[in-house]
Structure 1
Amino acid sequence: MAHLLFRLRHVTEEEAAEVRALLDEQGFDVYETQAGFFRLGVDAIWLADTRQREAAEAALDTYQQARLARERDAFEQARARGEAPTLWKRFLAHPVQVALTLVAVVVIALLTLLPFLGLATP
């Protein structure tokens, strides 16, 4: 029976391509599935031969640790240069989107709390 090796949902295309290349170059027997039109399935990479499970998971763990270190270093370098994304920078880049998001949060909070605020008045 196949083993779910790597979920592709919320993964960038760059990372998915790196994972595919890693698994391919190490000779693992894998295949991909798509979630489909109604998103009822799973976007994932599956391991066909479960005897390769430990080796494949070890290779993925090593890759993910290296990627984490690489991305963390890139973020720290961007922060040191003053290029890291912050709320203020996002507001300056997209003021309407940030303002509408904040308004939506306030409206949802008010609609959620409105029944309870009515109970507080005698």
Structure 2
Amino acid sequence: MSHLLMRTSGASFDEVAGLIDRLEAEDIECYQTDSGFWRLGVDGLWVRNSADTERAKRVLEEYQAQFRQEAQEQHRALHARGEAPSFAGQLWRHPVKVILALAAVAAILAISLLPFMRGL
């Protein structure tokens, strides 16, 4: 019977593809599902045989630790070069998009707080 190893809805394509490669290298059969058009299913990575579940969890933990470390090193390198994403950088590269997003946040706040402000 299949076992859900990991939900993939928040994972990057590179992370999932690397994990699938690692599982296949360990001879663990797995498959990936998506939630479908109406988003009623599960975005997930499944282990086909329940007997491989514990081994797959160990591989997952090792892979995620390695992936996290590589991502942190990459972010540190970007930060050291001054290329790390920041609010000022986003504002400089996409001023209209940032201003529209801030206006949308302000509008939502105003609509949300308006009923409470009528008494003042």
Q: TM-score range by the shorter chain?
A: over 0.9
Partner of 2:2: 2
Query: Secondary structure, in 3 states, of the residue corresponding to 1:119?
Result: coil
Distance across 2 between alignment mates of 1:17 and 1:31: 11
Instruction: Tell me the residue number matched to 1:60.
Output: 60
Larger mean CA deviation between 82-91 and 4-13 belongs to 4-13
The equivalences for 1:56-95 within 5 A come to: 56-95=56-95
For 1:8-27, list aligned pairs within 5 A. Answer: 8-27=8-27
**1:37 counterpart residue number:** 37
Q: What TM-score comes out, normalization by structure 1 length?
A: 0.93
What's the CA shift for 1:32? Answer: 1.9
Aligned partners of 2:20 and 2:74: how far apart in 1? 23
- Displacement of 1:100 after TM fit? 0.4
Q: With the length of structure 2 as denominator, give the TM-score of the two structures.
A: 0.94
Report the count of equivalent residues.
120
Q: What are the ranges of 5 or more consecutive residues in structure 2 without an aligned counterpart?
A: none
Runs in 1 of length 4+ with deviation above 3 angstroms?
none
Shift of 1:17: 1.1
Of 57-66 and 34-43, the range deviating more from structure 2:
34-43
In structure 2, C-alpha distance between the alignment counterparts of 1:11 and 1:52, rounded to whole Å: 22
Of all paired residues, the percent bearing the same amino acid is: 35
**Greater shift after overlay, 23-32 or 58-67?**
23-32
Task: Provide the alpha-carbon RMSD of the alignment.
Answer: 1.0
Question: What is aligned with 2:97?
Answer: 97
Paired amino acid for 1:73: E
Following superposition, the deviation at residue 95 of structure 1 comes to 0.5
